[in-house]
Amino acid sequence: MKTQAYLAFNGNCQEALNFYSNLFNADIKNKQTYEDKKIDVPSSFRQKLQHAELKGKGVHFMAYDAAPDTPLNNGNQINMSVDTNNLDEGKQLFKDLSSGGQIHHEFREREWGHFGRCTDRYGIGWMVNVNK
């Protein structure tokens, strides 16, 4: 069994995937736009991503731009969790993810290691753990 996150965006999926691709040194794969799909979306939305995947060492999730008739709410329905054993890597990752977003729990030492929780500039919640 395998569980993955599937992230929904309000038209800025490509921008977000570019950001995550650089951050995690991962590749954007299986990109499909709404261009040739038999889906009722405005012509201005046809170049948006109907499906894409981000794949790299230790990262794999899917994402898309929700059609304009699908209301999205930034909320706490999903958080991406990242575990690392390197404190410097964890600190930098948290700094990059929280830049332009909102910090909910400062990245600091906890009982189990170091932890921080934030929402990035795209409305996605992230938890960064560095285990002892």
pLDDT of the residue at 112: 85
Segment (H or E) for 18: helix 13-24
pTM of the model: 0.81
pLDDT of the residue at 62: 93
**Positive or negative: CA dihedral 120, 124, 125, 129:** negative
Task: Catalogue all structural domains in the chain, each as residue range(s) with its CATH number.
Answer: 6-65 (3.10.180.10), 79-131 (3.10.180.10)
Which tens digit of pLDDT belongs to each residue from 36-70? 877 888 888 899 998 999 999 999 999 999 888 88
Q: What is the mean pLDDT of residues 75-100?
A: 90
pLDDT of the residue at 91: 97
Residues 6+ apart with CB under 8 A from 101: 118, 119, 120, 121, 122
Q: Is the pLDDT of residue 1 over 80?
A: no
Q: Is the pLDDT of residue 123 over 60?
A: yes
Enumerate the β-bridge partners of residue 82: 128
